[in-house]
Amino acid sequence: MNEPVLVLNANFEPINVCSMRRAIGLILQDKAAMVVNGRGHIHTINQLLPRPSVIRLEYMIHRPRPRVKLTRREVFRRDNYTCQYCGRRDIPLTVDHITPKRLGGQHIWTNVVAACPTCNHRKGGRKLNEVQMKLPHAPKEPPASAFYMYGRHLKENGEWEQFITGW
């Protein structure tokens, strides 16, 4: 009952991933309709309920433009699990603040990069121009496209691809 279900807005824009339990609740309350089953059925005492993989809301939800949350995991994913200073990707990574926090650097997408412990240590809380280290490109906030947001579910939910492509 905890499998992920892709939730589409009334205009078919992907807007969320919820649990199977929540998706079935929305369908039973007529707030959403199943778009793709793909997972068989659930037997209750007197009903045979489909197990949706994709549902669509009956009413349009209006919301601000989505943004990717700034977390360690998302920083590593944006930076392709690669140290942005030396290019290593075979070791556990850390998050480096390009302008260190104690020098007023903010915890924002444009001031954080994935760095290996060696590079992070070498930089040692100083600014880039003080340590002769370079970044391949200025880091940016990743685009909150549906593919970026929900693409990691595709391996187990290939049927979502046609719904998240292009948004």
Residues in contact with Zn ion by the rule CB under 5 A: 83, 85-86, 88, 116, 119
Minimum Å distance from CB 85 to Zn ion?
Answer: 5
Closest CB to Zn ion among residues 120, 157: 120
Minimum Å distance from CB 89 to Zn ion?
Answer: 9
Closest CB to Zn ion among residues 135, 154: 135
Minimum Å distance from CB 113 to Zn ion?
Answer: 10
Minimum Å distance from CB 102 to Zn ion?
Answer: 21
Q: Which amino acid is at 130?
A: E
Phi, psi of 119 (to 5 degrees): -65, -40
CA 151/CA 58 separation, integer angstroms: 24
Minimum Å distance from CB 83 to Zn ion?
Answer: 3
115 three-state secondary structure: strand
Closest CB to Zn ion among residues 53, 84: 84
Q: b/e for 88-127, b at 16 or more Cβ within 10 A? A: eeeeebbbbbbeeeeeebeeebebbbbbbeebbeebeeee
Closest CB to Zn ion among residues 34, 116: 116
Using CB atoms within 10 Å of the CB of residue 62, give its burial: 0 to 12 exposed, 13 to 18 middle, 19+ buried.
exposed
Closest CB to Zn ion among residues 24, 119: 119
**Pair 96, 86: CB distance under 8 Å:** no
